[in-house]
Chain A
Amino acid sequence: MTGLASLASAVVSAGQVQAEAEGPVAGHAAATEHGSSALELWHDQHTILYPIANGLRELFTGIFSAVGLPHDKAADLAATLFQPFAVSTWFMCIALIVLALVVRKRLEFVPRKNLAGFMELIVDVLRDFARGAIGPGGEQHAPFIASLFLFIVTANWMGLVPGFLSPVGASSGDALSGLNTTAALALTAIVYVHYVTIRKIGIKTYLKHFAGEPIWLAPVNVPIHIIGELARPLSLAVRLFGNIGGEDKVLHYLAILLFLAAVPLHVPMTIFGAFTGVLQAYVFTALTCAYIAGFLAHHDEEHGHEAHGEPHPVRS
């Protein structure tokens, strides 16, 4: 995973330099000029989510100090544990889980027009999508695909609500932190794809897939296939982060552009951002389904059935 390793190191170095180089922005207070310790990321953030996270951070600083750590080490440890993107992600996960538990109590055999009926509609749409994109065996992957879709849609939309931070976007403190969350999502999706593939078609067919068609071209095909497989999580992560992070930054600069005249220039961009949030979640999920279908189509060709799912496995 040399791509991801070098990307991770670039993220860290870019984050540090970004925290040093970015000066104050009109109408907002950005990160401070000195250094990039986790504590400095918490300065000057005046939004709804941050008081909650700050309170948690102070609480855990107190707990760590009570346990016996010296105060500045306790503060650093609490700030590292409760970073802005992590707290935003936990908030989102707790909200989604509470929504699921509330809806579960209200499920009925014939859905009515309430929140439970609406969620049943969403689940139906996602299950049909998984079945259509993967093929007849797609229903068993539908829970993972649906969770992925809902997580990414909620994460994208949180950047549009004033006061919240999108875990896959960009913040003024460190420009490339959202790449961590999208890299985690992409790695989860790719590990799931490979695990399901190996469980379904066996490891010998899986390794033969890397060797390619004429078996004597294997020394050429195997590196090409491996590099292609490594490019997939990288492209998934960068695509999601770039789209949502770029749109968040555009919203940020539009919102402060005519700040003193109080002109809401960012409203059309917010509406467009809602659309691209759903679109990027759809693209991420559809590509994951295409990767699953690509491996399974190979399996069906091996067994002589006609290939189902997408006619051409997507290679990107």
Chain B
Amino acid sequence: MEWIYAFLALGTALGVPIAALAVATGQGKAAASAFESIARQPGATGDIRGALIITLALIESIAIYALLVFFMLQGKVPAIEKAVEALAKK
């Protein structure tokens, strides 16, 4: 019966890092292509910079959704003291 809390805690901890992996990969590709196009056409740096910033924020928001799920699950995970008490009582 206590395993459900163990799995819940594990899932809470694993959500954001996995999203961070995907976000870092996507943002790296976006930034790489932005740098390449700036090098190819330095005159368009302003437009490219604006588009890059908005794109990075849009990709970042996916990790923020994972962070929101983390906040929601964190409230449901019981505190360590209560878990230690429950285990000691058994």
Contacts and interface: CB of A to CB of B under 8 A. Distances in A.
Contact of B71 (A23, A175, A239, A316): A175
Interface of B: 50, 53-54, 57-58, 60-61, 63-65, 67-68, 71-72, 74-79, 81
A176 B57 contact: no
Contacts of A170: 71
A239 B57 CA distance: 8
A280 B57 contact: yes
A279 B58 CA distance: 12
A287 B53 CA distance: 11
A176 B67 CA distance: 11
A94 B49 CA distance: 35
A246 B69 CA distance: 12
Contact of A14 (B61, B63, B75): B75
Nearest to B64: A242
Contacts of A286: 50, 53-54
Mostly, the A contact residues are helix
A230 to B, nearest CB: 15
Given A280-B57, A287-B54, A18 B64 contact: no
B57 A279 contact: yes
Contact of A23 (B50, B53, B54, B79): B79
A18 B68 contact: no
Contacts of B61: 235, 238-239, 242
A221 interface: no
A231 B74 CA distance: 24
A28 to B, nearest CB: 16
A13 B76 CA distance: 10
A271 to B, nearest CB: 19
Interface of A: 10, 13-18, 21-23, 170, 175-176, 179, 235, 238-239, 241-243, 245-246, 279-280, 282-283, 286-287, 290, 314, 316
A239 B64 contact: yes
B66 to A, nearest CB: 9
A166 B37 CA distance: 38
Contacts of B77: 21
Contacts of B64: 238-239, 241-243, 246
Given A23-B81, A242-B64, A14 B57 contact: no
Contact of A21 (B53, B54, B68, B75): B75
Nearest to B46: A132
B54 A283 contact: yes
Contacts of A21: 75-79
Contacts of B78: 21
Nearest 6 Cβ contacts at the A-B interface: A242-B64, A17-B75, A283-B57, A18-B75, A239-B61, A14-B75
Contacts of A235: 61
28 contacts: A13-B75, A14-B71, A15-B75, A17-B75, A17-B76, A21-B75, A21-B77, A23-B81, A175-B74, A175-B75, A176-B71, A238-B61, A238-B64, A238-B65, A238-B68, A239-B60, A239-B61, A239-B64, A242-B61, A242-B63, A242-B65, A243-B60, A246-B67, A279-B53, A280-B57, A283-B54, A283-B57, A314-B54
